[in-house]
Amino acid sequence: MRDVLQQEDYAARSGVLYSPYRTFSREDWARLRADTPMTLVPRDLATLSGLIEELSMEEVEQIYLPLSRLLNLYVAASQELYAVTSKFLGRQGRRVPFIIGVAGSVAVGKSTTARVLRALLARWPDHPRVDLVTTDGFLWPNHELEARGIMHRKGFPESFDLTRLLNFLGDVKSGREKVAAPVYSHFHYDIIPGQQIIVDRPDILIVEGLNVLQPARLPKDGAAIPFVSDFFDFSIYIDADPGVIEAWYVKRFMRLRTTAFRDPAAYFHRYAHLTDEQAHAKALEIWNGINRINLDENILPTRQRARCILRKGNDHAVASVLLRRL
C-alpha cells in the first residue's frame, strides 16, 4: 500500500483535499452487512478458496456479505432504470445482465473474490442466474502469440483478442441468447481448441481479468471505440502492496511445483524437478520479468477507475474497503 500512501501524501502537498473514494475500515464495512443472511456454510469454502488463500467465514461475513448487499441494491436499481428507459422509448425490452468487472494483479486473489461473489449473489432471490467468465479465455492462443513475437508479453493488453472480447460483451449486454466464450487452461497454459463456455442471458455476469479496467487509446477523430469497462455496471479492484503480491506469487509457484507441475502433461512440468533454491529464483525471475512489469505499467494505473477497491494485508484478508463517492 506504499504507493497509495505516496499518492495521498502528494495530494495533501499539492493542496488537493478531495478524494474520490470513501474509505471504510474492516469493522465499519462489516457493519454495513445489516441483516443480510449468511447463505454459505463452512464446507462451501473449500471450493471457493484459492491455492494459497484459505477463505474464512469471518472474511465472508465481514467483507463479502456487505458487498453482496450493495451489489444487490445496484442490480435492483439498474433493472428499474432499464424498465423506465424502455417505457420512455415505447418498447418492451428484456432485462439485460448486470455486469461486474473484477481486476487486479496476478496472484492477488481475483479468482477467489469472483467465485465468492458468484456464490453469494446467486443466493439472492431476484437474480439467481449468475455466470462467471475470465478474460484468460480471450488470450491469443500460444501459436498466435509466438507468431506475433509476444509470447513473453502474455497477460499484457496486446496479448488479448480484444475484438472478440468486446463482441462477446456486446452480445451479452444486448440480451442475446447462448453467447460463447473460449476456454483457457492454466494446466496447458493455452486456449483449449473446441471448448466453449456458454453464457445464456444471466441475471448477473462477473468478468474477471488482469486488464479489464484498461482504457483504450482515444481516437483523434472522436470515433467511438468501446472499452471493456464500458460494459460494466460495477467494478472491483483487488489491491495489495506489490511486495506482498510478489511473496504470494512465489508461494503459489512453489505450491504448484509440488502439485500440478509434476504431471508430465503440464506446460510447466520442466520446473517440477528444480531444487527449492532454483524454483524460488525462477519464480522471482518470472515475477520481475513479466508480472511486475505488467502490474506497474498496465494494471495498477487502472485502480482508480474501479467503483470499489478491496485493500488486502499480508494475510490475504481485506483490511479496508474504498467505495467511490456517487
Cell numbers representing residue 122 in the block: 446467486
> Any idea which fold 44-214+221-239 has?
Rossmann fold (3.40.50)
Q: What is the pLDDT of residue 17?
A: 67
168 vs 207: CA distance, rounded Å: 11
**Digitized pLDDT (tens) for each residue of the chain, 326 residues in all:** 444 445 555 445 556 667 899 999 999 999 999 999 999 999 999 899 988 898 999 999 999 999 999 999 999 999 889 888 888 988 776 778 999 999 999 999 999 999 999 999 999 988 789 999 999 999 999 999 999 999 999 999 999 999 999 999 999 999 899 999 999 999 999 999 999 999 999 999 999 999 999 887 777 777 777 889 999 999 999 999 999 999 999 999 999 998 989 999 999 999 999 999 999 999 999 999 999 999 999 999 999 999 999 999 999 999 999 999 96
The DSSP result for 134-194, as a single string, is EGGGGBPPHHHHHHHT-GGGTTSGGGB-HHHHHHHHHHHHTT-SSEEEEEEETTTTEEEEE
C-alpha torsion angle, residues 77, 80, 86, 90 (rounded to 10) = -150
Q: What is the pLDDT of residue 10?
A: 45
262 vs 249: CA distance, rounded Å: 18
315 vs 156: CA distance, rounded Å: 27
227 vs 233: CA distance, rounded Å: 13
Residue matched to cell numbers 428499474: 80
209 vs 316: CA distance, rounded Å: 18
Q: What is the pLDDT of residue 164?
A: 96
210 vs 17: CA distance, rounded Å: 30
CA angle, residues 147, 152, 157, in degrees to nearest 5: 85
Strand, coil or helix: 133: strand
The residues spanned by each domain of the chain are 44-214+221-239
63 vs 72: CA distance, rounded Å: 15
The DSSP result for 83-118, as a single string, is HHHHHHHT---PPPPEEEEEEE-TTSSHHHHHHHHH
Of residues 141, 96, 102, 165, the one with CA closest to residue 267: 141
State how far the alpha carbon of 199 is from the alpha carbons of 43, 53, 88, 132, in Å.
Answer: 27, 28, 29, 9
State how far the alpha carbon of 89 is from the alpha carbons of 84, 85, 93, 304, in Å.
Answer: 9, 6, 10, 34
- The 21-25 sheet, strands edge to edge: 21-25, 318-324, 308-312, 234-239, 98-104, 204-208, 130-134
Rg (CA), the chain: 20
| Cβ-contact 51, 256 below 8 angstroms | yes
Q: Does pTM surpass 0.75?
A: yes
Q: What is the pLDDT of residue 52?
A: 86
